[in-house]
A and B are shown apart, each in its own frame.
Chain A
Amino acid sequence: MSNVALTEKDDVIEYLAAHEHKGLLRFITCGSVDDGKSTLIGRLLYDSKLIYDDQLAALESDTKKHGTQGDKIDFALLVDGLAAEREQGITIDVAYRFFSTEKRKFIVADTPGHEQYTRNMATGASTAELAVVMIDARRGVLTQTRRHSYIASLLGIRHIVVAVNKMDLVDFSEKVFREIEADYLEFAEQLDFESITVIPLSALDGDNILTKSRKTPWYDGAALLPYLETIQVRANLSETPFRMPVQWVNRPNLDFRGFSGTVASGSVQPGDEIVVLPSAKRSKVSSIVSMDGDLDEAGPDMAVTLTLEDEIDVSRGDVICAGQAPAEQTDQFAAHLLWMSEDKLYPGRQYFLKTANRVVSATVTELKHKINVNTLEHMSGKTLELNEVAFCNFSLSAPIAFDAYKDNRRTGSFVLIDKRTNATIGAGMIDFSLRRAQNVHWQDLDVDKSARAGAKHQRPCVLWFTGLSGSGKSTVANLVEKRLHDMGRHTYILDGDNVRHGLNKDLGFTDADRVENIRRVAETAKLMADAGLIVCVSFISPFQSERRMARELLADGEFIEVYISTPLEVCEKRDVKGLYAKARRGEIKNFTGIDSAYEPPQLAEVDVDTSDVPAADAADRIVEYLHAKGYLDG
Chain B
Amino acid sequence: MSDLQTLIERAKTAADKSDLSISTVSRKLFNDGKAIARLEAGGQCTLKTLETAQERLAVLERETAPGATEAPRPDGLISKTQMTHLDRLEAEAMHVMREVAAEAEKPVMLYSVGKDSAVMLHLALKAFYPSKPPFPLMHVDTTWKFREMIKFRDDLAKRLGLDLIVHTNQEGVAQGIGPFTHGSQLHTDIMKTQALKQALDLHQFDAAFGGARRDEEKSRAKERIFSFRSAGHRWDPKNQRPELWNIFNTKIRPGESIRVFPLSNWTELDIWQYIYRENIEIVPLYFAAKRPVVERDGTLIMVDDDRMPLNGETPTERMVRFRTLGCYPLTGAVESNATTLPGIIQEMLISRSSEREGRVIDHDQSASMEKKKQEGYF
Assembled-state Cα–Cα distance A512/B377 (Å): 42
- Stretch from A288-296, A324-332, A390-398 at the B interface: A288-296
Cβ of B265 and Cβ of A238 under 8 Å apart? no
B215: contacting residue among A98, A247, A289, CB under 8 A: A98
Q: Which of B24, B126, B219, B242 contacts A340 (CB 8 A)?
A: B242
A39 located at the interface, meaning its Cβ lies under 8 Å from any Cβ of chain B in the complex: no
Q: Is the CB of A100 within 8 A of B81?
A: no
Name the one of A54, A79, A98, A410 contacting B357, with C-beta atoms under 8 angstroms: A54
Interface centre among B24, B245, B247 (most CB of A within 10 A): B245
Give the residue name and chain of the A residue nearest to B371 (CB).
A83
Chain A contact residues (Cβ within 8 angstroms of B): what range? Answer: 35 or more
Given A9-B342, A12-B346, A120-B242, verify A250-B128 contact (CB < 8 Å): yes
Smallest beta-carbon distance B198→chain A, Å:
25
Q: Is the CB of A119 within 8 A of B354?
A: no
Given A96-B214, A98-B265, A250-B131, answer yes or no on A260-B98 (Cβ-Cβ < 8 Å): yes
B125 contacts the other chain (CB 8 A): yes
Q: Interface digits, B191-221 against A, CB 8 Å rule (1 contact, 0 not)?
A: 0000000000000000000000011001111
CA distance A245 to B270 in the complex (A): 28
Tell whether A16 pairs with B249 under 8 Å between CB atoms, given A261-B98, A299-B79, A305-B129. Answer: no
The answer to whether A6 and B246 have CB atoms under 8 Å apart is no
Give the distance to chain B from A118, nearest Cβ to Cβ, in Å.
11
Which chain A residues border B370 with CB–CB below 8 Å? 81-83
Contact of A83 among B81, B94, B264, B367 (CB under 8 A): B367
Q: Which residues of B contact A302 (CB under 8 A)?
A: 81, 83, 87, 91
Rounded to whole angstroms, the CA-CA distance of A301 and B249 in the bound complex is 20
Q: Is A291 a contact of B125 with CB atoms below 8 Å?
A: yes
Residue of A82, A98, A298, A413 near B244 (CB, 8 A) is A413
Which residues 238-282 in A have Cβ within 8 Å of B in the complex? Answer: 238, 247-248, 250-252, 256, 258, 260-262, 267
Determine whether B345 belongs to the interface, using a CB cutoff of 8 Å to chain A.
Answer: yes
Residues A24 and B88 in contact, CB atoms below 8 Å apart: yes
Determine chain B's interface SS by DSSP, over half rule: helix
Which residues of chain B are near A9, meaning CB under 8 Å?
Answer: 340, 342-343, 346
How far apart are the CA atoms of A303 and B349 in the complex, in Å? 30
The reply on B84 being an interface residue by CB < 8 A is yes
Taking the closest CB of chain A, its distance from the CB of B326, in whole angstroms, is 18
Given contacts A303-B94, A422-B249, contact A297 B80 (CB under 8 A): yes
* Complex Cα–Cα for A37 and B354 (A): 24
Please give the distance in Å from B13's CB to the nearest CB on chain A.
21
For window 116-135 of chain B, which residues contact chain A by CB distance below 8 Å?
A: 125-132
User: Counting CB contacts under 8 A, is A525 at the interface?
Assistant: no
| Residue pair B129, A12 in contact (C-beta under 8 Å) | no
Q: Which of A13, A238, A251 has the most CB of B within 10 A?
A: A13
Which residue of chain A is the closest to B253 with respect to CB atoms?
A422
Please tell me which one of the listed residues A20, A80, A256 contacts residue B273 in the complex, with CB atoms under 8 A apart.
A20
Contacts of A423 in B (CB 8 A): 241
Q: Is A55 an interface residue (CB 8 A)?
A: yes
In the complex, the chain B residue whose C-beta lies closest to that of A299 is B81
B244 touches A122 (CB 8 A): yes
Given contacts A16-B273, A356-B246, contact A303 B90 (CB under 8 A): yes
Contact between chains at A424 and B241 (CB < 8 Å) = yes
Partner of A24, one of B31, B85, B240: B85
B251 contacts A298, CB within 8 Å? Answer: no
Residues of A within 8 A of B131 (CB): 250-252
A9→B337 CA distance, assembly (Å): 12
Min CB distance, A626 to chain B, in Å? 30
Residue in chain B with minimal CB distance to A14:
B342
Interface residue A138 (Cβ < 8 Å from any Cβ of B): no
A13 and B92 CA atoms in complex are apart in Å by 26
19 contacts between A and B (CB under 8 A): A12-B343, A12-B345, A16-B345, A19-B273, A23-B84, A80-B218, A96-B265, A100-B85, A100-B269, A123-B242, A126-B245, A250-B128, A260-B98, A262-B91, A289-B130, A297-B79, A297-B80, A299-B79, A357-B102
Given A238-B79, A267-B81, 4 more A-B residue pairs with CB atoms under 8 Å apart are A19-B269, A299-B79, A299-B82, A303-B95
